Structure 1
Amino acid sequence: MLATPIYIICSPCPQVGKTLVARLVSEFLLLKNGTAASFDVSLKEPSLLDYLPHITETADVIDTFGKMQLMDPLIFHDRIAKVIDLGFHAFHEFFKMCDEIGFMKETVRRYVAPTVLFVAGNDSLSWRSYEMLQRQIPPRALITIHNEFVLRGGLPEAMGGEHVIRIPALPAFLKFYVDRLSFSFTRYLRDEKDWSTELHQWIRRNYTMIRDLDFSVTNRQGYKLASPFGRTRWHER
């Protein structure tokens, strides 16, 4: 029986490309499965809700009611992949809540597989937050996202461990193009017949990495990640 995946895309810092990653993951899952559920925990515009309103609902972790509204569907094994675009303002409160309620242990019991995609920044807040996640999240469920558009000089050494997804930098004019609220990665793949374009190849490469990650996550029980991301390959234990 396949686990229900949850992808928590997060960073304690703004302007690192977190929502871009959440869009890529959400659109891929929608293309692959025909359905997905995304949660936008963000105060900044534009947010995931603006890009994918048909599969996204807003959530917050400000009070007990908001936390329950967010967490209840996450621990339900319904085989609908879920994506959380976790705003930087809610980063510490969210993971504090997860630690207090034993979220990781509860998901194992319910056959739900959460994976934290930490979008790296090059500052002390990002380093300290990553170290906190290392203490709280099992190693195979913590993936570092290296967005080369933001970190052109490479990952900080402390974050360059085994499990890294590298998002290649797009030229500024293409970055501006994909940031439009009307832009869809999947629609571009379908409409653009020239597979040699830089953007077409960029999307396909990212979708391939997400596909392999999703396979590893949904088959997580008894496995260690066979990474397509370059550093290591996860393999059956």
Structure 2
Amino acid sequence: MPATPVYIVCSPRPQIGKTLLARLLSEFLLLKNGQVRAFDISVREPALIDYLPAITETAEIEDTYGKIQLMDQVIINDGMAKVIDLGYYAFGEFFKMSEEIGFLKEAARRNVVPIVLFCAEGDRVSTRAYDNLRRHIPMSQLIAVENDHVLREELPALFTRGRVLRIPALPLFLKTYIDRYSFSFTGYLRQERDQSTELYQWIRRNYYALREIETGLVMQRS
């Protein structure tokens, strides 16, 4: 059986576009594969479960039971991609737990591949957190996300030493439009007849970039 990917969308900072990326990724995987499981550990922020309640469930890692329950569900090589929207307040605890239980080694043993999508920012908290992650996570499984909605300057050099996923900015009125709970990226692609619109091209471009990540995963495991 091919490896099962577990995408961990994260940042130690709030308001960084993390849930937007988790939405894009979840809808892309659902469109491509017909199924995906998403876990929301960001209920103190605009939550993934509010946008995609049909495929998302909440998870907690504040106690041992919650940690075990989450890991039991994401460490399974069942062929269904998983997406974890990791809230900034749980960032440190999640990766501390992962290291303590040997998550990466156990995932490799079970043919599960964690992919960390780190939403980058130029502040000291973000750079230190990323630098620590790259000491423990293989660079092929760690991707810095350059979100033009958030970054007002060039991506710091530290992040460019590995893989980078760029999310282009949208005009404010379109950003407000896609932030509605009822909005669906795939739904828009299916309903919009004019494929030249800025939003249509933006979604297509991001879906293509996410497909490249998944294709790279398959090539690594072949």
TM class, shorter-chain normalised?
A: over 0.9
* Aligned-residue identity in percent: 59
Q: Does 1:208 align with 2:208?
A: yes
How far did 1:120 drift?
A: 0.4
Q: Which runs of 5+ in 1 are unaligned?
A: 223-237
Q: Which residue number corresponds to residue 31 of structure 2?
A: 31
Question: How many residues are aligned here?
Answer: 222
Q: Which residue number corresponds to residue 85 of structure 1?
A: 85
Q: Which residue number corresponds to residue 116 of structure 2?
A: 116
Q: Which residue number corresponds to residue 66 of structure 1?
A: 66
- Give the letter aligned to residue 119 of structure 1: C
Distance between the aligned counterparts of 2:218 and 2:82, measured in 1?
12
Q: Does 1:44 align with 2:47?
A: no
Q: TM-score, normalised by structure 1?
A: 0.91
| Residues 22-80 of structure 1 deviation map (CA, whole Å, 9 limit, x = unaligned) | 00000000000110000000132421000000000000110000001110011110000
Matched residue SS, 1:215: helix
Q: Which residue number corresponds to residue 164 of structure 2?
A: 164
8 Å CA contact retained: 1:148, 1:154: no
How far did 1:221 drift?
A: 2.2
Q: Which residue number corresponds to residue 148 of structure 1?
A: 148
Distance between the aligned counterparts of 2:16 and 2:205, measured in 1?
20
8 Å CA contact retained: 1:50, 1:181: yes
8 Å CA contact retained: 1:10, 1:85: yes
How far did 1:123 drift?
A: 0.7
Matches of residues 4-15 of structure 1 in structure 2 within 5 Å?
4-15=4-15
Q: Which residue number corresponds to residue 221 of structure 1?
A: 221
- Give the letter aligned to residue 58 of structure 2: T
Matched residue SS, 1:97: helix
Q: Which residue number corresponds to residue 3 of structure 1?
A: 3
Q: Which residue number corresponds to residue 192 of structure 2?
A: 192
Distance between the aligned counterparts of 2:97 and 2:158, measured in 1?
25
8 Å CA contact retained: 1:115, 1:217: no
Provide the alpha-carbon RMSD of the alignment: 1.0
Q: Which runs of 5+ in 2 are unaligned?
A: none
How far did 1:167 drift?
A: 0.4
Q: TM-score, normalised by structure 2?
A: 0.98
- Give the letter aligned to residue 23 of structure 1: R
8 Å CA contact retained: 2:45, 2:87: no
Distance between the aligned counterparts of 2:102 and 2:127, measured in 1?
24
Distance between the aligned counterparts of 2:161 and 2:56, measured in 1?
32
User: After TM superposition, where is structure 1 displaced by more than 2 Å over at least 4 residues in a row?
Assistant: 43-46, 218-222
